[in-house]
Amino acid sequence: MKLKQRRFDALVSQFADDLYRYALWLSKNPTLADDLTQEAWLRAWRGLDSLKETKAAKSWLFTIVRREFLRTFERKTLPTSSLDDMPVDIEDQQIQGPERKLEIGVIRQAMLNLEPKYREPLLLQVLGGFTCEEIANMLGSTPSAVMTQLFRARKQIKNQLNKTPRKRHNAESFL
């Protein structure tokens, strides 16, 4: 039992922030993101013995969060909230200057405007740091399909940013 607890504690300390950030991006609601993260940790604890490969832990946990998010919509309809009310994530709060925050907000909005089939792989790559192969496994797709979706997502974001009045968005740092 102590070995299982140590393994679990190591996972929590290593991936807690990443899981919450991903859940927040999916749900756009801090309370729901907390719930998703907690449920994911509960499911991870129950299924920890099935995790044979430590290298696969991050993608395994992200998959749990994603599936839990999808289950939320099977159970009930969630109220929508304005993107203006969405809190800035932890890393963004450390960035100084209103111009930079505006830039981040425009890029975030462009990402949220993407269709889910393009947004999900992009979020998994940008927020999760997953490879195309890992994303393909998580989404039940092929690496080449994921590469195509990522290419198209970036192209759509660049097109959106070129249409905005301010042309000085630094999309490359986020993509």
Note whether residue 91 is domain-resident: no
Whether 92 is covered by a domain: the verdict is: no
For residues 63 and 110, membership in a common domain is answered with no
Token pair recorded at residue 9? 């504690």
Mean pLDDT of 39-52: 89
Residue 160 sits in the same domain as residue 113 = yes
CATH of the domain at 7: 1.10.1740.10
pLDDT in tens, 15-40: 999 999 999 988 889 999 999 999 99
Would 85 be classed as within a structural domain?
Answer: no
In a domain, residue 41? The reply is yes
Q: For residue 109, tell me if it sits in a domain.
A: yes
pLDDT over threshold 60, residue 79: no
Q: Which residues contact 56 (CB under 8 A, 6 or more apart)?
A: none
Residue 169 near residue 161 (C-beta atoms within 8 A): yes
66 and 102 together in one domain: no
108 plus 68 within the same structural domain: no
Domain boundary residue, one of 41, 75, 109: 75
Distance CA 175, CA 86 (A): 21
Query: Given pLDDT bands bounded at 50, 70 and 90, which one contains residue 94?
Result: low
Parent domain of 108: 97-173
Same domain, yes or no: 154 and 107: yes
Residue 82 lies in a domain: no
Domain shared by 105 and 153, yes or no: yes
Identify whether residues 55 and 118 lie together within a single domain. Answer: no
Look up residue 77 and give its DSSP letter: P
pLDDT at 18: 92
Identify whether residues 54 and 104 lie together within a single domain: no
> Closest Cα partner for 67 from 139, 118, 10?
139
Model confidence at 96, pLDDT cuts 50, 70, 90, reads low
Q: Please indicate, yes or no, whether residues 60 and 6 belong to a single structural domain of this protein.
A: yes
Number of structural domains in the chain: 2
CATH of the domain at 128: 1.10.10.10
Q: What are phi and psi of 145, to 5 degrees?
A: -65, -40
C-alpha–C-alpha distance, residues 3 and 135, integer Å: 29
Asked if residue 102 is part of any domain, the answer here is yes
- Does residue 63 fall inside a structural domain? yes
118/171: higher pLDDT: 118
pLDDT over 90 (residue 145): yes
pLDDT at 34: 93
